[in-house]
Amino acid sequence: MNALSEYLTVLALALLLTGPALVGLRHERRIDRQMKAAQAAQAARPAPSASRTQKSSSRSTVPSTATWYADGRRSKKLVSS
């Protein structure tokens, strides 16, 4: 009887330790299947026509804060030297 309880204890611990890894593996395989299906569907879709090219945005571009700061630092260096 002790051997059976020890066997069940070892089996329970093994399932407790490997359970999350097996669930994660199953989840990743499902995502891989979904990605392959999406890629196949995208490959089967006809290519967009040449008349529908991407147009540039009509909004003017504003430099980022980092660019503005770097430009200000450069101009100060030029003036001080």
Tell me how many degrees the CA angle 18-20-21 measures, rounded to the nearest 5. 65
State pTM to two decimals. 0.45
Cα–Cα distances in angstroms (integers) from residue 46 to residues 2, 43, 49, 58, in the given order = 67, 8, 9, 29
Q: How confident is the model at residue 8 (pLDDT cuts 50, 70, 90)?
A: very high
Q: What is the pLDDT of residue 26?
A: 96
**Residues 76, 70: Cα–Cα separation, whole Å:** 10
Q: What's the pLDDT tens digit per position in 61-71?
A: 665 666 666 66
Handedness of CA 17, 19, 22, 28 (dihedral sign): negative
Average pLDDT of the chain, as a whole number: 79
